[in-house]
Amino acid sequence: MIKGCQNECTAGGCSGETEKHMTESFKASDLIITPATTFKEKPDPSGLVFGTVFTDNMLTIEWSLASGWEKPYIKPLQNLSLHPASSSLHYAVELFEGMKAYRGVDGKIRLFRPTLNMDRMARSARRATLPCFDQNELLECIRKLVEVEKEWVPYSTSASLYIRPTLIGTEPSLGVKKPTKALLYVILSPVGPYFASGSFNPISLWADPKYVRAWKGGTGDCKLGGNYGSSIYAQQEALELGCQQVLWLYGEDHQITEVGTMNLFLYWINEDGENELATPPLDGIILPGVTRQSILDLARNWGEFKVSERYITMSDLTAALEENRVKEMFGAGTACIVCPISKILYKGKHLHIPTMENGPQLTTRFLNKLSDIQYGREDSDWAMLVS
The predicted-structure confidence for 172-230, as pLDDT tens digits, reads as follows 999 999 999 999 999 999 998 665 555 578 999 999 999 999 999 999 999 999 999 99
- Give, in order, the Cα–Cα distances in Å from 170 to each of 6, 201, 202, 232, 386: 15, 41, 41, 25, 31
- Name the pLDDT band for 49 (thresholds 50, 70, 90): confident
Q: φ, ψ for residue 113 (rounded to 5)?
A: 45, 50
- Give, in order, the Cα–Cα distances in Å from 320 to each of 33, 245, 249, 276, 325: 57, 22, 18, 12, 5
Q: φ, ψ for residue 138 (rounded to 5)?
A: -65, -40
- Name the pLDDT band for 11 (thresholds 50, 70, 90): very low
Residue 96 three-state SS:
strand
Asked if residue 107 lies in contact with residue 375, where contact means CB atoms within 8 angstroms, the answer is: no
Task: Quote the CA–CA distance of 20 and 314 in Å, as a whole number.
Answer: 50
Task: Quote the CA–CA distance of 87 and 8 in Å, as a whole number.
Answer: 21
Q: How many C-beta atoms lie closer than 10 Å to residue 361's C-beta?
A: 12
Task: Quote the CA–CA distance of 259 and 206 in Å, as a whole number.
Answer: 9
So what's the pLDDT on residue 4?
45
So what's the pLDDT on residue 12?
45
What is the rounded radius of gyration, in angstroms, for the C-alpha atoms of the chain? 21
H or E element: which one contains 302?
Answer: helix 290-302
Task: Tell me the pairing of strands 181-191 and 160-169.
Answer: antiparallel
pLDDT in tens, 286-300: 999 999 999 999 999
Task: Quote the CA–CA distance of 317 and 383 in Å, as a whole number.
Answer: 35
Mean pLDDT of 241-250: 98
Q: Is the peptide bond before 360 cis (omega within 30 degrees of 0)?
A: yes
Task: Quote the CA–CA distance of 253 and 237 in Å, as a whole number.
Answer: 22
- Name the pLDDT band for 1 (thresholds 50, 70, 90): very low
